[in-house]
Structure 1
């Protein structure tokens, strides 16, 4: 019982929770959006999951104060760029908040929402329309109806866990 921590311990709980989640490897994506003719926005995101197959629906969690969230809500759409295994630099770039990040990557607008598709860094891109949002702590859950999926590569996927990047290859042996 001494190892159990309960809510209310403040900073200790935050550090323990962050450490626990760092030990949970997950895929890496960049969520992008563009409102009207304004500059594009994007952020690295690992809080992503498939919500429904029919209809095809994704759930992403974006920081409440994120300009990417604001652009997605204002435009009514966003793209989820699933990064391939060699795109660690792009993941780091979009996690940094560098103002020139879209000048440093090749991208083009998606068909339906005109959100940026990172054509050299992504192995797949989902073009989504915002269905609804739900505030949750310091993030907002965004539910998006997938309007189209574009497969750009199929050789690997970028992963993040234990505070480091790795990749899963399509030729990796199955785990028994």
Structure 2
């Protein structure tokens, strides 16, 4: 794959038209709320070095060779715009004690990064949430695909850091954690 600039108005692959038989948004939202998932904060910096970030539960592994993740970001997200300008991002997987961070990055708070400890990742410059993430992946953008009002962003993982901890989960429209974390590491 090649680096592709992110331009929501000009997708790299044709966007699909709305399907005439699509279910109501509320029904779909209810379905997806029943699917528990981990919580990540996606971070990047813009051309001027200003950090951007948002809470994301739309994250998935794509392939091991090369190691690739995908994240889904709203087309009007400032984080998406900054990510497109810089071409790199970090996926910060939050631990169970970082619910407040998930809430900050899913809110309209202006100075999100003034409320958390972070440092620039060595390869991409994207903010690493050093006290609130138990695992961090640095990624370089390799492609995007517009689907409805979101961009599916593919990133090759160029750096990983992690420690053993209990992940923060989101499901049934609330944050939580496993009550009996596995002893596997």
* TM-score clears 0.5: yes
2-structure distance, mates of 1:107, 1:23: 32
Q: CA deviation at 1:105?
A: 0.2
1-structure distance, mates of 2:20, 2:71: 27
1:117-173 per-residue CA deviation (whole Å, 9 max, x = no partner) reads 00111001100000011111010000001000011x312001000011111378447
| Residue aligning to 1:140 | 151
5+ long unaligned stretches in structure 1: 1-6
In the alignment, is residue 76 of structure 1 matched against residue 95 of structure 2?
no
Larger relative CO (CA 8 A, sep 6+): 1 or 2?
Answer: 2
In the alignment, is residue 108 of structure 1 matched against residue 119 of structure 2?
yes
| Residue aligning to 1:158 | 168
In the alignment, is residue 117 of structure 1 matched against residue 128 of structure 2?
yes
Contact 2:47 2:82 in 1 (8 A): no
Greater Cα offset, 67-76 or 29-38: 29-38
Structure 2 SS opposite 1:96: coil
Q: RMSD value over aligned CA atoms? A: 1.9
Q: CA deviation at 1:9?
A: 7.8
| Residue aligning to 2:98 | 87
Q: Work out which of the residue numbers 10, 14, 33 in structure 1 matches 2:44.
A: 33
Contact 1:61 1:139 in 2 (8 A): yes
1-structure distance, mates of 2:125, 2:24: 40
| Residue aligning to 1:63 | 74
Name the TM-score, length of structure 2 as normaliser.
0.84
Structure 2 SS opposite 1:36: coil
Cα gap change, 1:170 to 1:117, in 2 (>3 Å): farther
2-structure distance, mates of 1:92, 1:8: 35
Count residues in correspondence.
Answer: 166
5+ long unaligned stretches in structure 2: 1-18
Name the TM-score, length of structure 1 as normaliser.
0.88
Cα gap change, 1:38 to 1:28, in 2 (>3 Å): same
Cα gap change, 1:82 to 1:73, in 2 (>3 Å): same
